[in-house]
A and B are shown apart, each in its own frame.
Chain A
Amino acid sequence: MIRVKGLQKRYGRTKALDGLTLTVPRGAIYGLIGQNGAGKTTTIRVLATLLAPDAGEAAVGGADVLRQPQEVRRLMGYMPDFFGVYDDLRVGEYLDFHASLQGVRGAAAAGLRDSLLDLVDLGPKRDEYVEALSRGMQQRLCLARALIHDPQVLLLDEPASGLDPVARVEMRELLKELGRMGKTILISSHILSELADLCTHVGMMAAGRMIREGTIGDLLWAERPAYLLRVLREPERAAAVLQTVPGIGGVTADGEECRFHCQDGAAAAAAALAAVVAAGVPVIRFAEVENSLEAAFVQMARQANTADGPTACEGVAK
């Protein structure tokens, strides 16, 4: 549903996106995770047709953001991380205004407005001025605004920023509900745990590049106990054997070392070691390593940041 290929963007000498590639399948809730300055906001603004990339391609629902911006706008709803409100409009009028700009009119618009206000739990606030709403309510109203033309894709830039814990939970439940409604959602955050129980897919960004991308199931392996196996030779065969062992996943081979994760702790680790030895691969080291998704992400992000010069800060992208 969303495809980005080789996207590049510079702000002066600062590189914000450096050949970013990502794919969001239809119906997925895709969490884009990265530090401040990783390029998340820039990516979302390019997809929202608000920013021209220097190179590369980006498409939403098959429509290229540069060739068919009107089609992209019809297909997507966008919620920025910071946004303002009009002090002279009421909640219902605010949605009506955006509905008219999206070409939604008449009884359909009124019906959609009321159902969206109910969805975001702002039905009773319809006649209040937008400015008088709390931050959490304004965030929910902004989400309703993004949905006013019934888009297939939602681009949400840090939708929970600045919210208190209760409002965060409400926002998360709302997004889950939208996921159940079949919307494809791209959501950015710099807090990994915030997305863990919401997303079906996760992409980790650092220094304007995608450093890891996959389904949440793949990535959850990384949260499990990790082991390191160093062999004298044939690391590829060791990796192949490890993948056949039940309860073992997330196998990677790098030089003479294999890393893997165990689903049920030490027993699976012992079975894995026995299988590799039985296959005739000479093992010279076997050890448990400290690991978590967060730790792996931080390590990868540091490597990416030191490999390249300065990266953009999120503020530059605005």
Chain B
Amino acid sequence: MKRWLVEHGAGLALGVRGLVAKEMRSRSRGWRPMWLLTFYLAALTVVVAGFPALLGGIGGTISPTMGTQIFAVLAIGSVLLLAFITPALTVGAVSGERERRTLDLLLITRTSALGLVSGKLLGSLVYVLYLLVASLPAFALVYLFGGVPLFHLGMVLAVAAVTAVTHAALGLLLSALLRRTSLASVVAYLLVLFLVFGLPFVAVASSVANPAVPMAKVPTDTSQANLPPVYLYASPLVSVASVLPLPGGPYGIPLIGSLLAVGSVARYSSSYAYSSYAYSSAITSQSVGMMQTIIYTGSNPLTGEPQTLTTWAPWVYHFAFSAVLAILCLLGAALATAPIKPWQAWRIRRRAVPAAGEVRTA
């Protein structure tokens, strides 16, 4: 057991050390990294510059909540950008090596398959970190207008980082499972689209299919009444909405407020349709610190007392879901990359002829 741990620890460390250095070197060469950074910053700039213009803030009256509004738009923009950029960074990590016929040369080194995929993942994430740091000046603009505690900036960056790690791990798994990078890209983007937009859409669809129970019919025990489905929290869009310092009310963010159903209800939804579902079920909530949320599920029809339910904030669910998904993807990618699967070796070892000792003493 000790030998196994030492061997695998060394395999992991060698892979991470070697591949992170190589990935950093590769990603800093050629035109592609420059174009990617330019695109990322240009998109953020358009958001930062365009949003006040759309609000009529330029040449007009500046809303006192301008800082919060720009921050919300930036946060959602950067999470969305990273959600879609990171799979592209890892989707060719293993399949590209396979296509280039360089994978075998990595697999016969002392690094393990887990070390190999971990090195690839971390190599990509270093680049994501670089993009995040590069976007900080855009976030600094928010402080020109004020209204955003520094803690919320940290939380938004954390949601962005968690989203990036998860989506990068997902791309890595698909890269290891599917032989061709092009196929892995298509599948990765379909899955990311589903995670980001598909889950809220499914929540809306299910709310349409199962209309909320009218207030008058809400039973006394309202602990589970009309709560948003838990799978909704797997969407990074919902997660980032839950860490924004939004003022109360559904129109906290002009323009996209109607899309994101901001305010208390927005903590559970990312679409206008879903907000109507939330209104119909009369759910309102307020955060308790950052970790927990109290949801008002209605009032007791007999006593008139408000019924509440304390639950974890959506971003906590998102972080937990992301951690599990990222670990599973990483282990799956390592298994798919390993030339000899553990069960293959075990099966053959069981079948080994008694003369095995003779070979081992060669």
Is B349 close to A, CB under 8 A? yes
A-side interface residues, number (CB < 8 Å): 46
* Beta-carbon contact of B362 and A101 below 8 Å: no
Q: What residues on A are CB-neighbors of B101 within 8 Å?
A: 80, 82-84
Is A150 close to B, CB under 8 A? no
Q: Which residue of A lies closest to B17 (CB)?
A: A100
Q: What residues on B are CB-neighbors of A48 within 8 Å?
A: 104, 108
Cβ distance A286 to chain B, nearest Cβ, rounded Å: 43
**Looking at the complex, which one of A70, A74, A80 makes contact with B105 (CB distance below 8 Å)?**
A80
* Beta-carbon contact of B353 and A88 below 8 Å: no
* Beta-carbon contact of B360 and A64 below 8 Å: yes
Cβ distance B110 to chain A, nearest Cβ, rounded Å: 5
**Cα of A57 to Cα of B21 in the assembled complex, Å:** 37
* Beta-carbon contact of B102 and A101 below 8 Å: no
Interface residues of B in 19-52 (CB under 8 A from A): 19, 21-22, 25-26, 29-30
Q: Which residue of A lies closest to B108 (CB)?
A: A78
Is A161 close to B, CB under 8 A? no
**Cα of A83 to Cα of B241 in the assembled complex, Å:** 48
Q: What residues on A are CB-neighbors of B17 within 8 Å?
A: 100
Q: Which residue of B lies closest to A76 (CB)?
A: B108
* Beta-carbon contact of A52 and B348 below 8 Å: yes
**Cα of A266 to Cα of B340 in the assembled complex, Å:** 56
Is A62 close to B, CB under 8 A? yes
Q: Which residue of A lies closest to B102 (CB)?
A: A84
Interface size class on chain B is: 35 or more
**Cα of A70 to Cα of B6 in the assembled complex, Å:** 11
Q: What residues on B are CB-neighbors of A88 within 8 Å?
A: 25-26, 29-30
**Cα of A281 to Cα of B245 in the assembled complex, Å:** 108
Cβ distance A94 to chain B, nearest Cβ, rounded Å: 9
Is A233 close to B, CB under 8 A? no
Q: What residues on B are CB-neighbors of A86 within 8 Å?
A: 26, 100, 102
Q: What residues on A are CB-neighbors of B348 within 8 Å?
A: 52-55, 66
Is B361 close to A, CB under 8 A? yes
Instruction: Please judge, given known A-B contacts A66-B348, A103-B110, whether A98 and B341 are in contact too, CB under 8 Å.
Output: no
Interface residues of A in 241-273 (CB under 8 A from B): none
**Cα of A8 to Cα of B131 in the assembled complex, Å:** 51
Q: Which residue of B lies closest to A67 (CB)?
A: B349
* Beta-carbon contact of A51 and B26 below 8 Å: no
Q: Please, could you name 5 A-B residue pairs with CB atoms under 8 Å apart, sorted by A?
A: A52-B341, A70-B11, A78-B105, A83-B102, A101-B19
- A51-B339, A86-B100, A100-B21 known; 4 new pairs, CB 8 Å cut-off, are A58-B359, A62-B362, A70-B110, A100-B17
